[in-house]
Copies of this chain bind each other. A is one copy, B any other.
Amino acid sequence: MSILTGKTKIMIAEDDTNFGLVLKDYLSLHEYDVHLYRDGRQAFDKFEKGKFNLCILDVMMPIMDGFALAENIKAKDSNVPIIFLTAKSMKVDMIRGFKIGADDYITKPFDSEILLFKIKALLNRSETIVKAVNEQVEFVIGGFKFNSRLRTIQGFGKEEKLSPKEAALLALLCVYLNDILPREVALRKIWNDDNYFTARSMDVFITKIRKYLKDDPNIELLNVHGNGYRLVVKD
């Protein structure tokens, strides 16, 4: 847990008061310190003061919509995980959210278990990323040991040095191990931008990382078409 105050602090920005209160109560029951705001402007004012560990933002809100709010939040603290709530399951919306820096999205109405699961996964990821950057974190990837701080990978009788971007991307893949790392998330976090050129650049780095890992036949760095990459370790 990344806070010193005990409970994990969650912000909900949702203009539908009914729905918002139900959500707030549900999450409060699961030991979260939940704060509900009715529009983007209000939510952003509060965000600047309180230290939130996670934000759940409705895409459609008056005054400042979820996308605009997310952009402002990411500008203040680019590490806070953000989950978008969207009524439509339209793919366009999800992609736009990811480009802005969303870490996940969920469509209304939703399964409350799934939301809890996503919250846990996101908080865990956010924590692992913080550790990977600050501490001496060693990721074990099949027969390799990868140190994200020293930017070294050793295994199969050799040790190699990784460049900063190579190391950052591999660390992200490790955080999402066996799960999909969405392209947009990686581009946002490492390149701070998501356009045609940074995307092609990322492809080049994927190839490089595949080369570093090629000695272990149990490791695969799979592409999920139109979505992202998945680092899979068989056992």
Q: Please, what's the 1-or-0 string for A45-84, where 1 marks a CB less than 8 Å from any CB in chain B? A: 0000001010000000000000000000000111100000
Q: Judging by beta carbons under 8 Å apart, are A130 and B151 in contact? A: no
Question: What residue in chain B is nearest A87 (Cβ atoms)?
Answer: B77
Residues of A participating in the B interface, judged by any CB pair closer than 8 Å: 1-5, 19, 22-23, 26, 51, 53, 76-79, 87-89, 106-112, 114, 117-118, 127, 130-131, 133-136, 149-151, 161, 163-164, 179-180, 222, 224-227, 230
Query: If A89-B79, A117-B135 touch, does A127 touch B111 (CB 8 Å cutoff)?
Result: yes
Q: Which residues of B contact A227 (CB under 8 A)?
A: 151, 164
Q: List 10 A-B contacts (CB under 8 A).
A: A2-B110, A4-B112, A76-B87, A79-B107, A106-B134, A114-B130, A114-B131, A114-B134, A150-B230, A161-B224
**What is the CA–CA distance of A26 and B1 in the complex, to the nearest angstrom?**
14
Query: If A87-B77, A107-B79, A111-B131 touch, does A22 touch B2 (CB 8 Å cutoff)?
Result: no
